Amino acid sequence: MEFLIITLRNIPAIHRSLLLAVVILTALGNVHGRHKVHKWETVEYSAISCRAHTASLTDFGGVGDGTTLNTNAFKSAVDHLSQFQSDGGSMLYVPAGKWLTGSFNLTSHFTLYLDKDAVLLASQDENDYPVIAPLPSYGRGRDTDGGRFISLIFGTNLTDVVITGENGTIDGQGQLWWDKFHKKELQYTRPYLIEIMYSDNIQISSLTLVNSPSWNVHPVYCSNIIIQGITILAPVRSPNTDGINPDSCINTRIEDCYIVSGDDCIAVKSGWDEYGVAFGMPTKQLAIRRITCISPTSATIALGSEMSGGIQDVRAEDIVAIDTESGVRIKTAVGRGGYVKDVYVKGVTMKTMKYVFWMTGDYGSHPDNNYDPNALPVIDNINYRDMVAENVTIAAKLAGISGDPFTGICISNVTIELAPKAKKLAWNCTDISGISSGVVPQPCELLPDQGTENVSPCNFPTENLPIDDMKVQTCSCRKKLY
């Protein structure tokens, strides 16, 4: 610049302004040549809370090339944004790219937002997943004795947490973990994709989850949860890739989800044998709506088998199951204790099923040999209505426990079209009691038809659950467009 000033002194004044303009334009051209030009776009999304502060993962050194490990970038971002918990909360924006990462924790009053072209790639290195204690209501890991690998996205003792986006993807890269499971090479239980513990006011929405090492979404010991607009995809033979597992949770809403799974699409749980009984935290006030499930070896919705803390007031409606082993299945065993009661199901469409109705009191895996053999589960007030099924192998297999029958079963307005090679015995019932009306083919004698004069639909509550009063609002964020 000093050289420029000296030169200008020897140039007539009339030309100085022109030369300065040329220099400035040239300099600006160089700047634009060295740096990408960007503009901002405003993105709107629905959330239980909007945030006052926003940062991008790239602000903390994130590199979305699919090979650079971004665990520290995520941790640094969450740590920095946690300072805004009491100042309107914060959002971490994950832009387009492939972001390889190990496990990281969330914070309160926080939103993790994935761009539509963002892919979180879960590291396949066990060292990127610290080992944590087993859940107190389970007493051990699900895969092995002892601890478990922490989930990819984890949080505990939080309030007001949102994980959402424009259907961005979280890829668990689970094949390595599935192989270790099959080869019995696991030292600890496999990580889940998302696990939130001991937390309140949780939203998980508008995401695509693929190839989880094990369970996909696991809220446990939580309350006031919305899980909405999630697509979950896993190979149908992948082990234990449950879709959504509310576990000892109160006031939960799961809706508008599409799940292809190697295990139950939705599994409702509350602890395992003596550990679940001692912990004593039920899952209750659960609404499940507008779910599509494909799972040839498992259930659309499973209640249990770990249900020792109790399951109560579950309402499922507008469900579609395709090429799935069973509809709504109840799984329990001697030694579980606990209860499953006040279950209401209506509006279910099923195509190509092994079972429409399936209950079993002999689902006998136990965490150890210390369970109480006198701890018998209570299964009561189970209601199914307004269902249609086609290409079905067995209409129902309903097997309670000798001396501890499943009671209060009601089935009404159900039409089942059996497959050409269906079992000759369409209904197989033992140790149960209840009623039926308007069911084809005719149910077993333990579910006597009430006759045309007494036909009435099985119960489905008309009042809202408290979770229906938990509303979302329209929020916005700004993202760079290059």
Residue 27 maps to a domain: no
Buried b (16+ CB within 10 A) or exposed e, 173-210: bbeebbebbeeeebebbbbbbbbbbebbbbbbbbbbbb
Model pTM? 0.91
Cβ 364 vs Cβ 401: under 8 Å = no
User: Do residues 156 and 169 make contact, with C-beta atoms less than 8 angstroms apart?
Assistant: no
Domain carrying residue 162: 48-480
Per-residue pLDDT tens over the stretch 366-411: 999 999 999 999 999 999 999 999 999 999 999 999 999 999 999 9
205-233 mean pLDDT: 98
Query: So what's the pLDDT on residue 167?
Result: 96
Q: Give the pLDDT score at 455.
A: 73
- Distance, in Å, from the CA atom of 346 to the CA atom of 411, rounded to the nearest integer, reads 10
C-alpha to C-alpha distance for 121 and 66, rounded to whole angstroms: 7
Place of tokens 């299964």: 379
pLDDT band at 38 (very low <50, low <70, confident <90, very high): low
Name the residues annotated as catalytic: 263
Distances (CA, A) of 372 to 243, 276, 473: 30, 12, 48
* Structural domain includes residue 26: no
Residue 22 has pLDDT above 70, yes or no: no
388 domain residue, yes or no? yes
Q: What is the DSSP string of 83-114?
A: GGTTTT-EEEEE-SEEEEE--EE--SSEEEEE
Residue 263 carries which side chain, given as an amino acid letter?
D
Residue 42 lies in a domain: no
How far apart CA 373 and CA 336 sit, in angstroms, is: 8
Answer yes or no: is 102 within a domain.
Answer: yes
pLDDT digits (tens, 9 = 90+) for 253-280: 999 999 999 999 999 999 999 999 999 9
Q: Does the residue 40 lie in any domain?
A: no
pLDDT tens figures, 47-88? 999 999 999 999 999 999 999 999 999 999 999 999 999 999
Token pair of 42 as six digits: 């405003």
Give the count of domains, the chain: 1
Q: What is the pLDDT of residue 453?
A: 73
Query: What are phi and psi for residue 162, nearest 5 degrees?
Result: -125, 130
pLDDT attached to residue 400: 98
Distance, CA of 97 to CA of 116 (rounded, Å):
10
The answer to whether residue 6 scores a pLDDT higher than 50 is: no
- Evaluate if residue 21 carries a pLDDT over 70: no
The residues, any chain, with a CB within 8 Å of residue 234's CB and separated by 6 or more, are 174, 210, 211, 212, 216, 241, 260, 261, 262
Q: What angle do CA 453, 456, 460 make, to 5 degrees?
A: 175
- Residue-wise pLDDT for 124-136, tens only, equals 999 999 999 999 9
Residue carrying structure tokens 């901002």 = 40
Burial of 326 (0-12, 13-18, 19+ CB in 10 A): buried
| CB atoms closer than 10 angstroms to residue 463 | 5
**How far is it, in rounded angstroms, from Cα 333 to Cα 398?**
13
| Model pLDDT for residues 327-370, shown as the tens digit of each residue | 999 999 999 999 999 999 999 999 999 999 999 999 989 999 99
Q: How far is CA 248 from CA 40, 105, 245, 267, 331, in A?
A: 43, 21, 10, 12, 16
pLDDT of res. 481: 66
Per-residue confidence (pLDDT) for residue 51, from 0 to 100 = 97
Query: Does residue 453 fall inside a structural domain?
Result: yes
Give tens-digit pLDDT for 83-97: 999 999 999 999 999
Look up residue 114 and give its two tokens. 């994935």
Judged against a pLDDT cut of 70, whether residue 320 lies above it is answered with yes
Residue 471 located in a structural domain: yes
Average pLDDT, the chain: 92
**How far from chain centre, in Å, is Cα 172?**
13
- Whole-number pLDDT of residue 125: 97
Q: Are 162 and 49 in contact (CB under 8 A)?
A: yes
- Mean pLDDT value of segment 312-333: 98
Lowest mean pLDDT among 317-321, 324-328, 463-467, 475-479: 475-479
Task: Report which of 221, 275, 280, 207 is spatially closest to residue 252, judged by C-alpha positions.
Answer: 221
DSSP 206-271: EEEEE--SS-SEEEES-EEEEEEEEEEE--TTSTT--SB--BS-EEEEEEEEEEE-SS-SEEEB-B
Q: At 154, which amino acid appears?
A: F
CA–CA separation, 173 and 122 (whole Å): 6
Q: What kind and span of H or E run contains 6?
A: helix 2-9
The domain that holds 92 is classified in CATH as: 2.160.20.10
Q: How far apart are CA 94 and CA 287, in angstroms?
A: 30
pLDDT score, position 456: 81
